[in-house]
Amino acid sequence: MGRITNAMRRKSIRTALTAALAATALTFLAACTSTPDAAATVDPSDQRPVVLTTFTVLADMAQNVAGEHLRVESITKVGAEIHGYQPTPGDIAKAAEADLILDNGLNLEAWFSQFVDGLDVPHVVVSDGVETISIAEDAYEGLPNPHAWMSPLNAQIYVDNMATAFGELDPGNAAEYAANAAAYKTELQAVSDELTDELATLAPNQRALITCEGAFSYLARDAGLSEHYLWAVNAEQQSTPRQVAAVIDFVRDNEVPAVFCESTVSDRTMQQVVEASDAAFGGTLYVDSLSEAGGPVPTYLELLRHDTELIIDGLTRAGS
Ligand SMILES: [Zn+2]
Q: What is the pLDDT of residues 121-160, one digit of tens each?
A: 999 999 999 999 999 877 788 999 999 999 999 999 999 9
Whether residues 14 and 126 share a domain: the answer is yes
Instruction: Find the CATH number of the domain harbouring 211.
Output: 3.40.50.1980
Whether residue 135 sits in one domain with residue 24: yes
Decide: 102 and 127 in contact? Cβ < 8 Å. no
Same domain membership, residue 129 and residue 20: yes
- Give the Å distance between the CA of 64 and the centre of ligand 1: 22
- Give me the sign of the Cα torsion angle 135, 141, 142, 146: negative
The Å distance, Cα 124 to ligand 1 centre, comes to: 20
Cα of 9 vs centre of ligand 1, distance in Å, is: 36
Residues 112, 181 within the same domain: yes
Gap from CA of 286 to ligand 1 centroid (Å): 10
Domain span at 32: 7-193
Task: Note whether 259 and 174 are same-domain residues.
Answer: no
Residue 1 forms part of a structural domain: no
Residue 175 lies in a domain: yes
pLDDT digit string (tens) for 207-259?
999 999 999 999 999 999 999 999 988 766 678 888 999 999 999 999 999 99
Find the 233 Cα to ligand 1 centroid distance in Å. Answer: 6
Whether 242 is covered by a domain: the verdict is: yes
Q: What is the distance in A from the centroid of ligand 1 to the CA of 197? A: 25
The helix (H) or strand (E) run that includes residue 34 is none
Are 173 and 227 in the same domain? Answer: no
Residues 27 and 11 in one domain: yes
**56 CA distance to ligand 1 centroid (A)?**
13
Q: How far is the CA of 54 from the centre of ligand 1 (A)?
A: 13
- What pLDDT sits at residue 41? 54
pTM for the model stands at 0.85
- Supply the angle between the helices 56-66 and 174-199 in degrees, to the nearest 10: 130
Distance 232 CA to ligand 1 centre (A): 9
Q: Are residues 269 and 297 in the same domain?
A: yes
Same domain, 19 and 134: yes
Which has the higher per-residue pLDDT, 282 or 32?
Answer: 282
Is 2 inside any structural domain? no
When divided into structural domains, the chain yields a total of: 2
CA of 288 to the centre of ligand 1 (A): 5
H or E element that contains 89: helix 89-96
